[in-house]
C-alpha cells in the first residue's frame, strides 16, 4: 500500500502581538456555533474519508477485490425473503423429492441397461462429463447427482419473491461457483479420466502434474508470464505487420502500417482498441491478424497503441482518453491522408469510447468519419452481462478505494474477475488437465496475448464505471462532452456492429441495442465465438459462422431474438463481408498509397512498429 500522509489543519487560533485595547463592556449575547470555512471543512471530511478508503484497500488484499458488504447485502436480501416465503420453500422440498426419485429411477434403469439415457443433461458449454468413463457406474451416479443438485440450487437462488434482481444474480452466481468447486470432475478419485490415466501411466501423470503446479507457482511468485508465452514474443512472433509509429503523446502511440498492394482505398481505417488490453489482439500471428488482413485488402490502416498507465497517471480521465486518444489520432490521420474521410473502428471499450467521440463530433458538425465500426462494444449498459455482478454501488465504492490507494486497477485484479466469469474453462479444466492428467494445454497466440495484461488509471476507470455502467449516461442521452450532450442519435455515418454469441463481457443482445439509440443505417453481425475469439475470426478458420442483416434508418426495428431468427446465416468469417462493406462506403477509385507519416506537418516516423508502449509492463 502506498504511503499517503493526511494532514488535518489545526483550527487553534494564532495570536500576534498587538497594542493594548481599551476596556469596553460588551453586552451578553447568545453564543452561536462556529462553522469552519468551506475549504477547511472539505479538507477535514476528506481526511475522514481517507481512513475508510485505507481500511477498504487493506480488506481488498484478502478478498480479491470483492466487497464483503456487497455480498452480505445480496445474501441478506435473498435469505430474508426466502425465510418469509413458505410457498417457495414447499416448492423446493417438492423439487428435491422429485429429483431424488428421478436419480433413483435412473440408477435402477442403468443397473439393468448400461445404455439407459441420463435423467439430466449438462448445460450447453459444460464439457466436464462428456468422456466415456462418465457413462459407467459409479461415475454416472456421481455426475447425475451433481447435475441434479446444481439444478436444484439454481431453483433455490432464483425466483424468490421480493429479491432484487441484482442480488438474485449475485447469490445465484456465488452458489454456482461454490458448487463447481465440489464437482466430482475436480477430484482424482472421482474422475474416471484421471483414474484411467493414472493406471495407464503408473502414476507418472500425477508426478508431471505436480511438476506443472510447482512451475506455475514459481512463475506466479516471481511474476513471470505463464509457460509457453516465450514462443509468442511481441515484434517477433506476434504484432509483426510492418509499419511505423508516426505519432506519440503521453497516452498513445499511433502506428501507420505499410501498404502491401500497389494501390489502396482512398479512405484510411483508424482502429481504436480497448485500453484494458494490448492492441495486438488485432495483430496476432500473421495468419490471424485482422490488421494484416485489412492491409492485404488494400486499406491504409492506422492503429492506436495505448500507454500502460502507472500510479503517476491516476488523474487521467475518460475525456483525456477521448481527446489525447481518439481525437489526437484522428488529427494525425487527417494530416497524413488529407482531404479524405476516415473509417473509424473501435473494439470493446475502445468501441464505446469511439461512439462517444463520434457523437461529440456529430454534435460539433465534424464530419470526418466515413463510417463507424463497433466490435463487441456496448453503448447501452442496462444489461451488461455477468460483469455487472461485480458492479454495484457498494462494490464500486470498494473498487474506488483499491484504485485510490494504488493509483490504478492492477492487471491481476482484472484478470481474477474475468476468470470468475468462466471458472470451468479457465480454472477447473486447467486443474484437471495440467495438474491431474499431467498434460500441458498448448499455448496459443491468443492465450499469450491474454496473459499480457494492462492496468487502468484510478480516475478514468472510476468515472467509466460510474457514468456508463451505473448511471448509463450514454444511452440515457445525458453524457456530456465539452459542456454538450454526446447523443448517439446525432451520428449520421453508417455503422457496422459486431456481437459474439458467447460473449461474457459484452453480451450480443446488449450490443444489439445500438439499433435503439442511433438514427443511421446499421449493419449488424452476430458471429460465433466469444468476446475475443469471435473477433479474431480469420477466413479459413474451421467451424465459424455468422448472421448478418442490414437495417436502414427508416426500417422497423426488431427485438434481438426476432432479428436472429430473421437474419441470414453464413459459414466462414465475417471479415470478408466487413471489408466488402468498407469498400462499398469508399470512393470507387483506388489511389497510390500515402507516404509514411507527414514530416512537414509534425508527424514524422519515429520508430518501427510495434513501437514502445506495447512493451510496458
pTM of the model: 0.87
**8 A C-beta contact, residue 106 and residue 118:** yes
Sheet holding 369-375, edge to edge: 568-571, 545-551, 522-527, 495-500, 369-375, 342-347, 269-272, 301-306, 252-257, 243-248, 607-608
In order along the chain (617 residues), what is the average pLDDT of each group of 10 residues? 38 38 40 50 69 77 79 95 97 97 93 89 89 92 96 96 94 92 94 96 95 93 89 96 98 98 97 95 97 98 96 95 98 97 97 98 96 97 83 84 83 69 79 94 92 91 92 95 95 97 93 96 96 95 94 93 93 97 96 96 96 95
pLDDT score at 42: 56
- Which residues is 252 bridged to in the sheet? 306
Phi and psi torsions of 285, nearest 5°: -65, 155
Q: Which of 107, 119, 303, 348 is catalytic?
A: 348
Return the pLDDT at 482: 93
Beta-strand relationship, 545-551 and 568-571? antiparallel
Task: Return the DSSP state at 439.
Answer: -
With cell 496459443, the residue in question is 444
Answer whether CATH 3.30.465.10 is correct for domain 243-381+479-615: no
d(CA 466, CA 456): 14
Q: How far apart are CA 14 and CA 16, in angstroms?
A: 7
- According to DSSP, the β-strands at 480-481 and 484-485 are antiparallel
Q: Is 557 a catalytic residue?
A: no
State residue 262's pLDDT score. Answer: 96
Output Rg (C-alpha) for the chain, integer angstroms.
29
* Cα(314)–Cα(318) distance, integer angstroms: 12
pLDDT at 220: 85
Domain with CATH 3.40.50.1820 in the chain: 243-381+479-615
End-to-end Cα spacing for the chain: 19
Amino acid at each position: 500500500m502506498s504511503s499517503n500522509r493526511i494532514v488535518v489543519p489545526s483550527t487553534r487560533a494564532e495570536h500576534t502581538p498587538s497594542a493594548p485595547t481599551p476596556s469596553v463592556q460588551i453586552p451578553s449575547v447568545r453564543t452561536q456555533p462556529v462553522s469552519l470555512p468551506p475549504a477547511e471543512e472539505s479538507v477535514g471530511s476528506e481526511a475522514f474519508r481517507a481512513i475508510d478508503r485505507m481500511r477498504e484497500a487493506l480488506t481488498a488484499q484478502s478478498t480479491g477485490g470483492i466487497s464483503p458488504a456487497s455480498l452480505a447485502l445480496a445474501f441478506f436480501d435473498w435469505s430474508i425473503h426466502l425465510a418469509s416465503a413458505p410457498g417457495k420453500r414447499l416448492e423446493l422440498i417438492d423439487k428435491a423429492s422429485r429429483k431424488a426419485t428421478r436419480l433413483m429411477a435412473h440408477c435402477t434403469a442403468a443397473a439393468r441397461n448400461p445404455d439407459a439415457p441420463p435423467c439430466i443433461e449438462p448445460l450447453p458449454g459444460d464439457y466436464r462429463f462428456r468422456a466415456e468413463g462418465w457413462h459407467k457406474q459409479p461415475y454416472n451416479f456421481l455426475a447425475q447427482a451433481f447435475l441434479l443438485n446444481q439444478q436444484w440450487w439454481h431453483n433455490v437462488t432464483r425466483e424468490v419473491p421480493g429479491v432484487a434482481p441484482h442480488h438474485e444474480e449475485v447469490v445465484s452466481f456465488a452458489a454456482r461457483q461454490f458448487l463447481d468447486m465440489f464437482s466430482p470432475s475436480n477430484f482424482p478419485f472421482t474422475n474416471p479420466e484421471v483414474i484411467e490415466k493414472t493406471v495407464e501411466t503408473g502414476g507418472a501423470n500425477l508426478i508431471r502434474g505436480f511438476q506443472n503446479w510447482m512451475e506455475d507457482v514459481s512463475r506466479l511468485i516471481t511474476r513471470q508470464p505463464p509457460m509457453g508465452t516465450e514462443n509468442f514474443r511481441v515484434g517477433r512472433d506476434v504484432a509483426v505487420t510492418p509499419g511505423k509509429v508516426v505519432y506519440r503523446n503521453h497516452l498513445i502511440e499511433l502506428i501507420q502500417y505499410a501498404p502491401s498492394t500497389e494501390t489502396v482505398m482512398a479512405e484510411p481505417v483508424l482502429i481504436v482498441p480497448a485500453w484494458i488490453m494490448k492492441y495486438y489482439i488485432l495483430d496476432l500471428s500473421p495468419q490471424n491478424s485482422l490488421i494484416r488482413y485489412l492491409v492485404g485488402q488494400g486499406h491504409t490502416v492506422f492503429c492506436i497503441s495505448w500507454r500502460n498507465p502507472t500510479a503517476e497517471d491516476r488523474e487521467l480521465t475518460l475525456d483525456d482518453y477521448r481527446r489525447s486518444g481518439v481525437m489526437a489520432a484522428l488529427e494525425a490521420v487527417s494530416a497524413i491522408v488529407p482531404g479524405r474521410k476516415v473509417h473509424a473502428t473501435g473494439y470493446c471499450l475502445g468501441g464505446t469510447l469511439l461512439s462517444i467521440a463520434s457523437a461529440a463530433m456529430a454534435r460539433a458538425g465534424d464530419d470526418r468519419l466515413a463510417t463507424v465500426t463497433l466490435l463487441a462494444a456496448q453503448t447501452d449498459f442496462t444489461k451488461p452481462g455477468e460483469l455487472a455482478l461485480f458492479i454495484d454501488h457498494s462494490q464500486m465504492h470498494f473498487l474506488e478505494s483499491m484504485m485510490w490507494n494504488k493509483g490504478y486497477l492492477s492487471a491481476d485484479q482484472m484478470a481474477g474477475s474475468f476468470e470468475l466469469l468462466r471458472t470451468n474453462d479457465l480454472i477447473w479444466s486447467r486443474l484437471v488437465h495440467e495438474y491431474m492428467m499431467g498434460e500441458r494445454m498448448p499455448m496459443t497466440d491468443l492465450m499469450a496475448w491474454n496473459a499480457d495484461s494492462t492496468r487502468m488509471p484510478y480516475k478514468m476507470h472510476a468515472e467509466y464505471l460510474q457514468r456508463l455502467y451505473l448511471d448509463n449516461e450514454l444511452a440515457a442521452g445525458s453524457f456530456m462532452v465539452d459542456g454538450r450532450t454526446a447523443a448517439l442519435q446525432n451520428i449520421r455515418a453508417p455503422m457496422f456492429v459486431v456481437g459474439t454469441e458467447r460473449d461474457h463481457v459484452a453480451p450480443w443482445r446488449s450490443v444489439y441495442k445500438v439499433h435503439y439509440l442511433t438514427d443511421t443505417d446499421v449493419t449488424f453481425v452476430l458471429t460465433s465465438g466469444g468476446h475475443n475469439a469471435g473477433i479474431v475470426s480469420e477466413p479459413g478458420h474451421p467451424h465459424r459462422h455468422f448472421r448478418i442483416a442490414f437495417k436502414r434508418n427508416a426500417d422497423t426495428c426488431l427485438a434481438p431474438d426476432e432479428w436472429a431468427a430473421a437474419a441470414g446465416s453464413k459459414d466462414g468469417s465475417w471479415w470478408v463481408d466487413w471489408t466488402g462493406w468498407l469498400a462499398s462506403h469508399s470512393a470507387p477509385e483506388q489511389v497510390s498509397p500515402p507516404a509514411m507519416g507527414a514530416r512537414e506537418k509534425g508527424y514524422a516516423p519515429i520508430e518501427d512498429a510495434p513501437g514502445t508502449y506495447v512493451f510496458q509492463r
